Structure 1
């Protein structure tokens, strides 16, 4: 009896640590401590679970010890692999790592559902229904996250689309629902096994088919959505197993993922159905494209302009992460600040390849949090700023989103970098952004391109500012 109380109390304590950790993760200042706190909660509840060994009858222990040994091996393998990946992953690979880790959570929830369905103990119709719903959501999150990982990792470079795809996907989802209902109705009968197997196959396949047509530019929203799916699936399976820690953790993660998904969709001024079913990026924004020519300058010229400016706003994008140039950028920024230049960073909610990607990137470089501003807080400042420096960003500063109703990104809120007195853009080439839409900002009179890898360009900028200081 004492062990049962301890195990139950451990779930409550762990849930409290999860909630506190998630709350702390809402601020860059406390994000690291929040992750550590939530991790302690997970270690605590996993450790307490093993106390159930002392509450098992002696006759059942030999069989249980085999499962415990397998669980320990799985924990060791999982901890070693994820710990190694977490320490060695490059910042450019962080989005796909988040996607695949999230998929593992969904797959675990689906596996719990499968084990519950295969167990011999009597189960109520409500528990069976909840188990099936959790399995469906977990399967979709599992295979959908794998496809998202493949897209982000460059293994699938183009969306897979074909005629009648939406009808096919809808039919597949309906088939999964029917098979799930048959599994519930025929549970514990010889005829109940086949519908269950077919249900899991249809659910896993639907996760793949649902994600294949979604463009890469929408992956941040998709990752957030599947995170919510995983949390919901875990919460449902926690209810089935009577595990308060799983229920609370799943509900917290699911609700947080849902809110984040809504915020991401709002930041793009698009509904979630539009993200999932609009074939974003299929159409060209303009038949003729922007008029004029791109002007280019040397890194030293751009650095000189910023050295003698009063204010500079920097817009980081995925190109900064690709070049691993965040440390060099902050070195450049510190030199400007030392010379009396007011420098701020402007972060678009969907910049990069996952929610908060740019915030993590700048935090890794040691940029103070008070220099980092959200879009709504800084957008009005561009009009009075001397220089806007854009590094590897494209779609989030594209004024076509405000003016061209035929553009696929029309209506998406952007950073108003085009309003600055002078705009410098560090970019490898003159190609389009991730959405496939050309940016007319690069052709404006107040915009100058600085072509090259961000790491190399910023290194030259640092040298130029140093030379000005010794001149």
Structure 2
């Protein structure tokens, strides 16, 4: 059994490693090292927490750790990069549910302690958790009730919200916003009832209040995320990441675990900041998004004129051979087709021919921030030609050819031209200003968000239909 001093020192070390991990993930070149910081920090956290003072039940804990590690390793090997957003959402749900269970357990132990004190009895069958609660003073037990309420509410909202986010990202739940009749009033009513139940519980009501509170919070999480459309799902995943952090912090207070408090606060605050940054990048109101799209645009969308004109590999290759400057815009379709290697091969061939080739990355390209950057790094695309939207958006007007690979909303001119569009005002990559635009796409569908894209009908745009990897592979031999 390790002393409390060792555990405290380990908590500081793990916290520093987590901070270094978060900081390093903002840069492609440092990202791999940052991941190792996070891995080492979590290993330190788990080890020193498991063998800290007052911890027992190893006959159950160690098998559970082994089982969890095996499941995690198998998932990590099986999950494709395209499935990472839904995996992240699923992992958030586990944190939320754990917060609910820990909060329930804490209240049951609190009631046992109070009953024993009232009877002037001494509890002999202390578990580590019960002993933790038993050593709390009366005012600390009162504060524990506040922690329990917060843990249950935040955890339950996180759990069902993350489950629905997983379903939408995985295509198992319709990506369109859907709510019950009454919409936001149902959410508001459930929130008010949750507050009343919390007040009843804090004033001595029974355990039933926590069960009903959890049920209401489960509903709020479900209904909130069901009411958010596919275009806002990247923000939702980031927002749920923040919720899971605050749920973990609430558990940390309940368990008197400093490391869990610090880690939860780091995740919660960084997730909230990222959500705000993403909302700004998408011209979304942060409060509107987290309330389920409240106050969205109204009115009929503008009619689209023209037709989608297809082009074959020969036509695209001819345009590339004549071009001096090329910009590639990757999207989720590139990830689905696993076309990043073919894209990298095309870039090397074009650059060898003396052409200027760059990538334009929208802040929410894919379904998570940095999604495209990671894929391009895996394919060994040079960092210096991968540019963010603000760095390259003004260059499209002087570019000969733009190749869009599986993107929809981030290159949709309706964001700037149609005030009634669901993405009205969202900053987008102005690819239509280039001389020629080729869109690599499987078919004529509207994409994940269900929003029609006028880009596909413009005179300087051509549709390069087919699987992105197969299309680009067929294109390579034709490029000089």
Same fold by TM-score greater than 0.5: yes
**Match among 195, 200, 204 for residue 214 of structure 2:** 200
Cα distance in structure 2, aligned partners of 1:236 and 1:427: 45
CA deviations over 1:264-309 (Å, ceiling 9, x no partner): 111110102332433799968535x211122221112212211331
The equivalences for 1:313-352 within 5 A come to 313-352=327-366
2:470 to 439, 456, 463: 456
Contact 1:398–1:414 (CA<8 Å) still a contact in 2? yes
Work out the CA distance in 2 between the residues paired with 1:69 and 1:184: 36
Matches of 2:2 and 2:372 in 1, distance apart?
48
For 1:407, the equivalent position in structure 2 comes to: 421
Which of 47, 68, 78 aligns to 2:58? It is: 68
- RMSD in angstroms over aligned alpha carbons? 2.0
SS in structure 1 opposite 2:21? helix
- Mapped partners of 2:440, 2:225: distance in 1: 32
> Aligned with 2:375: secondary structure?
helix
Q: Which residue does 1:140 correspond to in 2?
A: 157
Looking at structure 1, the residues matched to 170 and 244 of structure 2 have their Cα atoms a distance apart, in angstroms, of: 21
Please, which of 189, 193, 198 is the counterpart of residue 175 of structure 1? Answer: 193
The alpha carbon displacement at 1:315 in A equals 0.6
Alignment of 1:91 with 2:78, yes or no, is no
Deviates more, 1:261-270 or 1:198-207: 198-207
8 Å contact from structure 1 (residues 311, 387) kept in 2: yes
SS at match of 1:449: strand
2:293: which partner in 1? 278
Q: 1:134-153: per-residue Cα shift (whole Å, max 9, x none)?
A: 32112111111011001111
Whether the aligned pair in 1 keeps the contact of 2:15 and 2:259 (CA below 8 Å) is yes
Higher mean alpha-carbon deviation, 439-448 vs 126-135, is at 126-135
Matched, 1:14 2:11: no
Deviations 1:368-388 (A, max 9, x none): 221211111110111111111
Q: Deviations over 1:136-187 (max 9, x none)?
A: 112111111011001111111244323212111111122222222222221x
State how 1:44-63 maps to structure 2 within 5 Å. Answer: 44-52=44-52, 55-56=53-54
3-state SS in 2 of match to 1:161: coil
Secondary structure in 1 matching 2:440: strand
SS across alignment from 1:351: coil
- Counterparts of residues 190-269 of structure 1 (less than 5 Å): 191-269=205-283
Give the structure 1 partner of residue 123 of structure 2: none
Contact conserved, 1:161 with 1:213, CA < 8 A, in 2?
Answer: yes
Cα distance between partner residues in 2 of 1:148 and 1:301: 40
Cα distance, 1:281–1:166 mapped onto 2, change above 3 Å? closer
- Give the whole-Å Cα distance in 2 for the aligned partners of 1:171 and 1:280: 18
d(CA) in 1 for partners of 2:374, 2:31 = 10
Could you say which residue in structure 2 is the equivalent of 1:430?
444
Q: Which residue of 1 aligns with 2:180?
A: 162
Q: Deviations over 1:349-368 (max 9, x none)?
A: 11212222212222222222
Task: Note if contact 1:99-1:148 (Cα within 8 Å) is conserved in structure 2.
Answer: yes
Q: 1:125 aligns with which of 142, 145, 149?
A: 142
User: How high is the TM-score relative to the length of structure 1?
Assistant: 0.91
**Distance (whole Å) between structure 1 residues aligned to residue 293 and residue 163 of structure 2:** 21
Aligned to 1:61: none
